[in-house]
Chain A
Amino acid sequence: MEVKTQRGNLIMNTATMAYRNLLKTFHNPDRFMDVIIQPVMFMLMFGYLFGGAIAGNVQNYLPTIVPGILIQTMLSASSGSGEQIREDLDSGVFDRFKSLPMAHIAPLAGQLFADILRLVIAAAVSLTTGYLMGWRPAAGFGWVVVIALLAVFTGWAISWIFALLGLLAKNASTVSSFSLIVMLALSFLSNAFIPIKTLSKTMQFIAYMNPITYVITAIRQILATGSWTHEAVLVLIFGIGIVLVFAPLTVWAYNRNN
């Protein structure tokens, strides 16, 4: 009986913490930008600026750029996780959480649960913008949902890394600037915006070392072929691997902090 109440509590507490987290996202212009404004802006800017140069016209560029921006958006939305955790730890609000008779892990669980919702919103915004620009993937809506889920899962796996960073970093602005650099490097040094074969040998090597390249390739393949591919399985395994490694580390750092 007792265990059951505790588990009920954990779910309730986590839901409340996730609600708090989302409220904060929508009250805070910085976070709101990451999730809503940035994907729309990047999709429009990159599409209309580089479409002609890279693919001849905007329409031909969309199959390249939509998955690229989608994953870039996942990266920046997941980086919010680390900032938020650091801010909470610094502001003293965590002390209050700890002094409440609630499940000890709920603040962290709530954060990562809210991350999923944030990622889903960000993915929906990116894909809708693409659609409005004329993006019509051949594979059909069902497969668009599949790649959206794959993207969200990848983003969520990465948010564990950022959460760990937030727990270990000195302050929120360190996390924020580091996250931005990581996000830029990972998204630009990949095939997100350009065909890799146009790059020099060294740049190609770097792009192939970048795991993001594989995620984007997997998504493009699914959309082009309308089938689950070998690459997609790899991405999934890689994502699960990240969670298996970083979730325990993050929980460890979280408990150490307390």
Chain B
Amino acid sequence: METMNAIEVNHLTKKFNNKIAVDDISFNVKKGEVFGLLGPNGAGKTTTLRMITTLLKSSNGSVKIFGHDTAKEGRLARSMFGLTGQYASVDEDISARENLMIFSRLNGLSRAESKQRTQELLTEFSLLDSADKSLKDFSGGMRRRLDLAVSLITRPALIFLDEPTTGLDPRTRTQMWDTIRKLVAQGSTILLTTQYLDEADQLADRIAVIDHGKLVKIGTPEELKKQIGGTKLNFTIDKSSQMTIAVQLMTKQLDESIGQTGQQLSATLKNINQLTPLLVTLQQAKIAISNLTVQEPSLDDVFMNLTVGKN
């Protein structure tokens, strides 16, 4: 029981009129982990999330939340997580305070508890000043904050965030990241979907890359980056007469094919420690180089490499 997973997804599948939106996806999310579902638009991230959170019936497969099968114990499972949807799902016509009060009551808190929790959350999410204004005057960031606050009423141990920062400006985005990090520090397990690689890189302990409804890869950001290949090395040979000898030396030392465009050479290093000996070798051969760049693989490369996207 100690090592029980927060979420267990087994062979989850969703068909819409014979079109497969989510195709046999399985993964586990450990307690206390931040797990990212990464994929291009239309890859099936939200559909997967909606099935896990019982908003959508799956065509096949099962989901367990803290060991409880969502198909059999839906209500119990629902009491264990908070969900923040892609579109701020709060009431537009009423104030932030009223929203929090109503959702507190619906979560089963007493009137007094609801009042107290509402005040706490308004303070925590710096919404006190606008607590009684209509949401129509709220900025996108404020709305998201309120939305997240509503998901946290019961202090759930598991939180689902569907594209938490889509459409936010860079400053509000960073604020949102800070808030999410704070939740992680408090011990929450988080599953988030995102189409932003830097977001997944910044926040997630592990990432599942989804494309065309299939799970293409799963691992830590580092593992995924490693998979794409090592560090990229680029430089220019000053004298074109030295090209042949340079390529020969490099091929021998790196045991890799060397890319050649004009006087520019590129190679992939399996390990960053290969760099210094290589530069020494070139220097000993009196080959002058310039414009040296060393590039760690980014998640962008992973993304481009693994996904095809809708087009």
Contact = CB atoms under 8 A, between A and B. Distances in A.
Interface in A94-114: 94-102, 106
Specify which of B76, B79, B93 lies most central, judged by the most chain A CB atoms within 10 Å of its CB. Answer: B93
A95 B107 contact: no
Contacts of A28: 93
Interface string B268-309: 000000000000000000000000000000000000000000
A9 B108 contact: yes
A12 interface: yes
Interface stretch (A15-23, A166-174, A188-196): A15-23
Contacts of A13: 106
A24 interface: yes
Specify which of B85, B91, B107 lies most central, judged by the most chain A CB atoms within 10 Å of its CB. Answer: B91
Contacts of B89: 91-96
A91 B92 CA distance: 9
Nearest to A103: B75
A106 B81 CA distance: 20
A27 interface: yes
Interface string B87-113: 111111110001000110111100000
B55 A23 contact: no
Interface residues of B, number: 29
Contacts of A94: 89
A100 B81 CA distance: 9
B78 interface: yes
Contacts of A24: 91, 93-94
Nearest to B134: A27
Contact of B76 (A19, A99, A101): A101
B78 A101 contact: yes
A20 B78 CA distance: 21
B165 interface: no
A15 to B, nearest CB: 9
Contacts of A20: 91, 94, 98, 102
Interface in B37-69: 50, 53-55
Contacts of A106: 106
Contacts of B203: none
Contacts of B98: 20, 23
A164 B125 CA distance: 38
A96 B79 contact: no
Given A16-B102, A23-B93, A27-B94, A92 B87 contact: yes
B83 interface: yes
B122 interface: no
B150 interface: yes
Contacts of A99: 53-55, 78, 81, 83
A249 to B, nearest CB: 21
Contact of B105 (A12, A96, A98): A12
B78 A100 contact: yes
Contacts of B134: 27
Interface string A1-43: 0000000010011001101100110011000000000000000
Contact of B107 (A19, A23, A98, A101): A101
Contacts of A98: 54-55
A93 B54 contact: no
B190 to A, nearest CB: 15
Contacts of A95: 50, 55, 83, 85, 89
Interface string A204-226: 00000000000000000000000
Nearest to B77: A101
A72 to B, nearest CB: 25
Contacts of B150: 96
A164 to B, nearest CB: 22
A106 B75 CA distance: 13
Contacts of A9: 108
A98 B89 CA distance: 11
Contacts of B85: 92, 95-96
B30 to A, nearest CB: 22
Contacts of B87: 91-92
Contacts of B78: 99-101
6 contacts: A17-B106, A23-B93, A93-B90, A93-B91, A99-B81, A100-B78
Given A23-B98, A27-B94, A100-B107, 5 more contacts: A9-B108, A92-B87, A92-B88, A94-B89, A99-B78
Q: Which 4 A-B pairs have the closest CB atoms?
A: A101-B79, A92-B89, A96-B89, A27-B93
